[in-house]
Structures are given as C-alpha cells and as structure tokens.
Structure 1
Amino acid sequence: MARVTLADVARAAGVDMSTASRVLRGEASQRVREETRVRILKIAEEMQYLANPLARGLRTQRTDTLGIVVPQLDNPVFASAIRGAELEAAERGYSLLISHREPGETATTIAKISRTNRVDGLLVASLDDDEVLRTDLAAARVPFVLMNRILPGAPLSVVLDSRAAARKGVEHLTALGHRRIAHLAGREGGFNARERLQGYRDGLAAAGIAFDEALVGVAGYTAEGGTQAMRALLPQHPTAVLAATLVSAAGAMATLHEAGLRIPEDISVIGLHDAPVARMLYPALTSVAMPTEEMGRVAADLLIRALGGEDPTPVAPLPPGTLVVRGSTGPAPI
C-alpha cells in the first residue's frame, strides 16, 4: 500500500497543503476555522496519515525534537523531570533527545546539540555556577527553558518551591520534639541550596529554635556527599537531620548505620523529594514529595509554546507535595 502523503490529506479535505500542514502541526498561530480543523484531523486519522519528519525538517528547518540536558541520570529528580518532559513532548508531537553532561561540560553539550540542528529548543538543568551557566547558554542557538533553578537574565525557567519544602520538613521534625536539627545542604552557593537553607531556617524560627551554623554541612547532591557531611556532623549530636535531597539522605543513613545509631530511635532523617527508592531504604525514608515530573511537563510546555511563536508568561515556583511519613522519623530521644 502506498504511503499516504500530506497532499492526499489536503486533497481529501478540500484545502491547500499549507493549511493541512499547519493544522496537523498544531501551530498556535494558525488561522483556520474550527470545522475545517476538525475535518482535516478526522480525515488524517481515517487515512492513517503519518508525517514524514525528514522531509518536513528539510522543508521547514524544524526537527520536531526537543533536547533536555541534565547533570545526573541516576538522580531521581532529573529522571522524573525527563519523564514529565517526554510525556508532554509526545503529546504535542515532539520527540525528546536526552543528553547527560557533568558540571563544566555544559557549553560543549549545548553547542554540539544546537549547532548541528538536532533540536528546535532546549530544556537545561545544570549544577554549574551562575556565571559558568550564563556563558554556556550563550552558545545556544535555539530557545531554551531552565529547569530547577533561576538564572538572572534568563527569560524562562521552571523551579520547585524548595524553601517551602524545607520548612515543611523541619516543621515535621519540630512537631516530634526535635530541637537539634542538622541540615545537609546542597551545592554551596547554588540557587536551590540557598532556598532550602532558608526554608530550614524558617522552620527553626517558627519553632523558636536559634539557628546554629555548626549544624549545617554541605553534602551536595550525591550519596557520597551525604555520607561525608553526616560523618562531619556527628560530633554535634543532632537528634534529627533534614537532607536537601533523597540521594544525600541515603548517604547520611549509611553513615548513621555504620556509627551504630538507630534510626529513628537515636536520630531521625527526612529528605526532600520522594521516589520509589525511598521505600527501599532501611528504615523507609520520610520525605517531602516534590512535583518533579510536573516541572518537566511545564518546562516542555513553555518551550513548545515559545517555539510556536507565543510569548509564554513565566510560571510561579511549583509548591511541594505532601509529607510522606515513613519509618525514618520519630519522637526526639529523651
């Protein structure tokens, strides 16, 4: 059976090819009557029309592909964001090209993807410093949306309300009677690290607890960082720990087990972000759920609308989800 072409669909619908193409691409700027749009879509479905992306790309210089650049593939935060972006892209007729790069490699990755015309736009998550990221993004020749951080001067970004999430975690611990609450912070100087530290301080202040800098250790976003930071904080004798991420919380729990401390009888642990791995830890980790998949979807939506000629309105930080209480938190020891 011969392949159904765009010309076949246009002919059957009684419209010209440019009209059929605009409707089937779902362009926001299209000026087509609703009855015409419905007729074209119905005929395309009945004829089992499938677009030829190679031919269309040569004609329009578009690939119908978005790129997503992430610093970690084994971090549940980015894995979830990728899933959300992929779902949104697929629903809108786009493919998603995933690129992993370590901090410091952003410029090479962005330049390689954008200059070879492999994507129409980029979703970028980065752990690099602001100035490094700003320099790297100058290499992008396509529209972009930042995820999980704000960069002054960048027009579009989608972030989580990490400050509110950290406060919610501390409030859970103070409600259990904890007063010496340690914080495993994110990357020093990073946007999210600042927001979570402030949320930690907000939670302490709300409970009338003075902030003690000696109870804050920089763990970054790895299990190894959580292990090392927790080990350094043990001499401060905290009764509870708020970790900036699920991954660093897992590292902290390993250190506590090695030290012979019981969780939660001797010390409670809570992490930000929730994922299936939280249930696999021993004991299962109490966590503040974060809408990371929604972050990916919203970022992809912003980018696609920008590619369609719209001027999307920046979105407010996405509020945290529920507090998922499991076995790693309990009353403060007497």
Structure 2
Amino acid sequence: MARQDQQRLASPATLADVARVAGVDMSTASRVLRGDSAQRVREETRDRIIKVAEELAYRPNSLARGLRTARTYTLGMVVPQLDNPVFAAAIRGAELAATALGYSLLISHREPGATATTIAKLSQTNRVDGLLVASLDDDAVLRTDLAAAQVPFVLMNRVLPGAPLSVVLDSRAAARKAVDHLVGLGHRRIAHLAGRDQGFNAAQRLEGYRDGLAAAGIGFDEALVAIAGYTAEGGAEAMRQLMPQKPTAVLAATLVSAAGAMSELHAAGWRIPQDISVAGLHDAPVARLLYPSLTTVMMPTEEMGRLAATLLVRRLAGEHPVPVPPLPPGALIARASTGPVPR
C-alpha cells in the first residue's frame, strides 16, 4: 500500500487537507463542499475541489451541520431497477459526488407502475433535502409524484416537459454508432430490440437506429423492430418475434435485453456471430462474461449520476444551474458477438 494510502487510513482527511491539495484556501473549499453559492467560484476550481475531496475520501460532519441548519444533508435517489448495470453505475457516480459535497445518499427502488406515493414517501418520511429520479413511469404519473414530494429534484436518463433539470445520455448517437459498426461488417438486415414503448430513451435509440440505416442507404423495416423493454425476459421474447424475419444482426437497446436475446438465440441453435451478430448499448463487466463476449457502446452512466448529484446540491444551495446537453457516448467495444455478415 502506498504511503499516502496508509496515511489516509490512519487519519481521516480534513478540510485543510482538501484545501491544501486543491491549492485553495479553506474558506473556498468549505463553500464549495457545503454547496454555498453566496460567492462565485470558478467552475474549474469547483471541479478540482470536488475531485480532490473524492480522492481523499473526505467526510464532513453532516450531523453537526444538520443541527445548525435544520437540513438532513441527505439526497434521495429513485431507480426502477437495482439489478441493471446502468443504474448501478449511476448510483456509484451520484454517491461519489454526494459524499464529496457533504451529503449522504439514500436509494429507493421503484418498479414501473408502482403506486404514485413512492417518491413522496421518500421525501417526507425520510426527510431528504432533494431527489435524483430515474423513472420508467409515464409523464403524468411522474409529474404528479414529483409535485407531491415538494423538494427540488433532478431527473436522470429521461426528460419531463417543464422539469428544470435533467441529465441524459445521447442514446441516439450511441445507437447510430452501433449500427455503423454492423453496417461496416456488411450487415443490411439489422433488427432492433427497442426499449419501453413511448419512452424517451427508446425513442432516441430508435432514431439512432434509423439514422444508421439511412446513412447506409438501407430502408427502414418495421418488421425488424420489436419492443423488448429493459429486462432479459423482454429481450428473449422480442428475439423470438424477430427470428422468423431472418436478421443477420441485432442491436439491443440495453445490455440486459441483449443478454436475454443471446440466451434465446443459443436455445434456438443460432450461432453468434456466425449466424447472427449481436450488439448492445452500455458496457459493464458482465458484457465480457457473456458467451460470446458482447460488443457494446460505452455510455457515461457514472458521470450522469455524478453530474446529477452535483446539480442537485447546487440547486439546494440556491443556485440556478443551466441545463446540460446530453452526455455523448464513449467508444464502441468490438467483442466476439459481432462478425461479418453470413455468406
């Protein structure tokens, strides 16, 4: 273990440590880490202080602050799936940012279609100061629930008309990148396992899929699109629907639905990638463990959680942060699940 790590374990980092490493005075570090917007701090300075606080595992005394200010210094985070790598990464990013800014993070799992009181109970019973919300519910349900919560919120991985702040991924660009890869391998009968019907991200991914087809001069065929949702079971069922269409490649909207599709293809005796190539959006360690390993497009889901938590704390401090553009996808990771079009 490095000497610096040994020292960190021996004595917790202090505010003075954060200020020293970040190259600022303690008052500046304190203002940033408690979300104080009374005095302006340059964005690069703010980011540097937060990064140093994360690296040093700085833990402010939130209990003492809460007693002084009548706040809990706790953020609530609502996610629709706990077993989905996408939300696991978002939780990790939000927790890192919240901790660096002096907040705790409370996770709540809300299945799509659950009662509309889930978010309100989280804010009222647990007295969180603000909410990070990733939801698969319809706009009307989500809007009612957020109004009942009566605390500031930031949406993640979706938009809601009229909501002040959302942090989303550029799913359209990611889907286009995956289709370009499949087209480059010679595929022209490319199917799509779409996300939730009428969902924001599902629509974005479908548009990216269509963008890629159009750029390659391939006509769009509705028969090659099936709704899979965001579960392995949905991916398997959608793949069963598409098999009679004889696609040579398939793009799944998520890593989880791609895994379900691959399981169904194996059961039906289709060889991957000799008979059909499979690609998915989002990357996680499980993509390397599938057989064969899955080609994916990397998405900045951890950064999404970090940015959403940071924006929420700034709102709680009285700031009015401006909306942020969609976060662009990362690289396409070509693995064994994709190959040339069958001859």
* Displacement of 1:113: 1.6
C-alpha distance in 2 between matches for 1:251 and 1:276:
16
TM-score (norm 1): 0.86
Which deviates the most, 182-191 or 56-65?
A: 56-65
C-alpha distance in 2 between matches for 1:238 and 1:28:
55
Aligned runs of 1:256-295 on 2, under 5 Å?
256-295=265-304
Q: Amino acid of the residue matched to residue 28 of structure 1?
A: D
- Cα contact 1:107–1:139 (8 A) shared by 2: no
C-alpha distance in 2 between matches for 1:159 and 1:214:
29
Quote the residue 1:190 is aligned against. 199
C-alpha distance in 2 between matches for 1:109 and 1:91:
27
Quote the residue 1:28 is aligned against. 36
Quote the residue 1:308 is aligned against. 317
Quote the residue 1:60 is aligned against. 69
Give yes or no for the alignment of 1:202 onto 2:211: yes
Superposed CA deviations along residues 88-126 of structure 1, whole A, max 9, x for unmatched, are 111111111111111123632211121135211100000
Distance 1:65 1:177, change over 3 A: same
C-alpha distance in 2 between matches for 1:168 and 1:24:
37
Quote the residue 1:213 is aligned against. 222
Q: Amino acid of the residue matched to residue 241 of structure 1?
A: V
Quote the residue 1:252 is aligned against. 261
Quote the residue 1:174 is aligned against. 183
Give yes or no for the alignment of 1:165 onto 2:174: yes
* Count of aligned residue pairs for this structure pair: 301
Distance 1:237 1:27, change over 3 A: closer
C-alpha distance in 1 between matches for 2:60 and 2:179:
52
Aligned runs of 1:138-157 on 2, under 5 Å?
138-157=147-166
Q: Which of the numbers 81, 84, 89 marks the counterpart of 2:98?
A: 89
- Cα contact 1:106–1:136 (8 A) shared by 2: no
Distance 1:23 1:312, change over 3 A: closer
What stretches of structure 2 of length at least 5 have no aligned partner? Answer: 1-26, 42-57
C-alpha distance in 2 between matches for 1:317 and 1:52:
34
- Cα contact 2:59–2:100 (8 A) shared by 1: no
- Cα contact 1:65–1:96 (8 A) shared by 2: yes
Q: Amino acid of the residue matched to residue 91 of structure 2?
A: I
- Cα contact 1:107–1:137 (8 A) shared by 2: no
* Displacement of 1:59: 3.4
C-alpha distance in 2 between matches for 1:245 and 1:24:
36
Quote the residue 1:123 is aligned against. 132
Q: Amino acid of the residue matched to residue 56 of structure 1?
A: R
C-alpha distance in 2 between matches for 1:255 and 1:109:
35
C-alpha distance in 2 between matches for 1:180 and 1:23:
56
C-alpha distance in 2 between matches for 1:104 and 1:273:
24
What stretches of structure 1 of length at least 5 have no aligned partner? Answer: 1-18, 34-48
- Cα contact 2:130–2:152 (8 A) shared by 1: yes
* Displacement of 1:298: 0.6
C-alpha distance in 2 between matches for 1:24 and 1:318:
24
- Cα contact 1:241–1:267 (8 A) shared by 2: yes
Quote the residue 1:10 is aligned against. none
Instruction: Calculate percent identity across the aligned residue pairs.
Output: 76
C-alpha distance in 2 between matches for 1:151 and 1:24:
29
Give yes or no for the alignment of 1:104 onto 2:116: no
TM-score (norm 2): 0.84
